[in-house]
Amino acid sequence: MHSEEPPPPAVRQTQTYLRHLFRERGLKPKNKMGQSFLVDLNLVDFLVNSAELNRDDMVLEVGTGTGSLTTALAAEAGAVLTVELDPALHDMVKETLGHHAHVRFVHADILKNKNHLSPQVLDLLREGLKRFGGKHLKLVANLPYAVATPVLANFLLSEFTFERMVTTVQWEIAERLQAEPGTKDYGALAILVQSLADVELLRRLPPSVFWPRPKVASAIIRIWPRAAKRALIADPQRFRVFLRDLYAHRRKNLRGALVGMAGKTWDKATVDRKLRDLEIDGNARAETLDRHVHLRLCEAF
């Protein structure tokens, strides 16, 4: 009997390697899918190290891409579920990395729509967690720009308990996620995420560390979901809708924004009475108020 052949050695995916790979297969990066591959190998290592993986961890990767990060995740985690929308990349990576028995390759859109995740991916994640039975679920990804915000928000609001999320995002999104009251970047996204988790900026990334180069800077962030924060929100999905509707009228003061909220029929007198009961100034702008005040407003309105 012959012993099984060992798996091929992991390839370090430099820009030169990827250019050759794409030429060889007749492929081109797709701008509409936000395909910018992380080619600074030290940053790939930094991303993985920031996740602090071990064999008790199951990892969800959104955007398999060319499999560079997938390979690094497979070397550390007990199980990996990796999702890719581009059929050509999905087929290529499954062909080259399919020898990893603990990696599940999924060809799917991670989003059903802006406010909902793919039911197919959610079912596979439930199935994988049940079968694997590990201690922690972690999201580690080089997220495509177009889906970064809805992916993070939807998973924070989901039934799944992530120990942490370590991802690349557009620098502008990193600023919005960390924004404090009274700053230009503070709004519905910052309030929602900070009401569910702690956000940590780990590294600013110039365009040069990606191929093809994006036009803007990026960041590596680490998000720590907090059960204690979530417990303060009676209905997280309702809170999300409330914030969305409140910040649809960002230029108005708080009274005007509440009166003008979509689908609501409060008059100014009712709004003023409720705000007086809450001891909140109706002339203030919503973006000057901290997340705790927004939670009180959501409960009252």
Residue 129 identity (one-letter amino acid): L
Do 204 and 271 fall within a single domain? no
Helix (H, G, I), strand (E, B) or coil at 166: strand
Do 55 and 201 fall within a single domain? yes
Q: Under a CB-based contact definition with an 8 Å cutoff, are residues 253 and 282 in contact?
A: yes
Contacts 24+ apart (CB under 8 A), 125-131: 125/60, 125/81, 125/160, 128/58, 128/79, 128/81, 128/104, 129/58, 129/160
Closest alpha carbon to 193 in 147, 162, 171, 224: 224
Please indicate, yes or no, if residue 60 is contained in any of the structural domains. yes
User: What is the pLDDT at residue 5?
Assistant: 42
Domain boundary among 168, 201, 228: 228
Do 145 and 273 fall within a single domain? no
User: What is the pLDDT at residue 32?
Assistant: 82
This prediction has a pTM of: 0.93
Please indicate, yes or no, if residue 4 is contained in any of the structural domains. no
∠ CA 184-190-196, nearest 5°, is: 165
Do 120 and 191 fall within a single domain? yes
48: which residues sit within 8 A by CB, 6+ positions away? 69, 72, 73, 76, 140
Q: How far apart are CA 258 and CA 68, in angstroms?
A: 47
pLDDT per position in the chain (301 positions), as tens? 334 444 445 578 999 999 999 999 999 999 888 899 999 999 999 999 999 999 999 999 999 999 999 999 999 999 999 999 999 999 999 999 989 999 999 999 999 999 999 999 999 999 999 999 889 999 999 999 989 999 999 999 999 999 999 999 999 999 999 999 999 999 999 999 999 999 999 999 999 999 999 999 999 999 999 999 999 999 999 999 999 999 998 889 999 999 988 788 888 999 999 999 999 999 999 999 999 999 999 999 9
Number of domains, the chain: 2
Q: How far apart are CA 58 and CA 138, in angstroms?
A: 6
User: What is the pLDDT at residue 103?
Assistant: 97
Q: How far apart are CA 175 and CA 190, in angstroms?
A: 9
Domain that holds residue 289: 236-300
What letter would DSSP give residue 9?
A: P
Do 35 and 175 fall within a single domain? yes
Q: Locate all alpha helices (DSSP H) within the chain, ordered by sequence.
A: 15-25, 41-51, 68-76, 87-97, 119-132, 148-157, 171-178, 188-196, 227-230, 236-246, 254-259, 268-278, 291-300
Please indicate, yes or no, if residue 25 is contained in any of the structural domains. yes
Do 75 and 151 fall within a single domain? yes
User: What is the pLDDT at residue 10?
Assistant: 58
Residue 8 identity (one-letter amino acid): P
Do 201 and 283 fall within a single domain? no
CA distances from 172 to 42, 51, 204 (A): 23, 22, 11
Do 240 and 223 fall within a single domain? no
Please indicate, yes or no, if residue 173 is contained in any of the structural domains. yes
Q: Under a CB-based contact definition with an 8 Å cutoff, are residues 89 and 64 in contact?
A: yes
User: What is the pLDDT at residue 4?
Assistant: 41
CATH code, domain with 70: 3.40.50.150
CA distances from 58 to 44, 52, 77, 79, 253 (A): 18, 12, 6, 5, 45
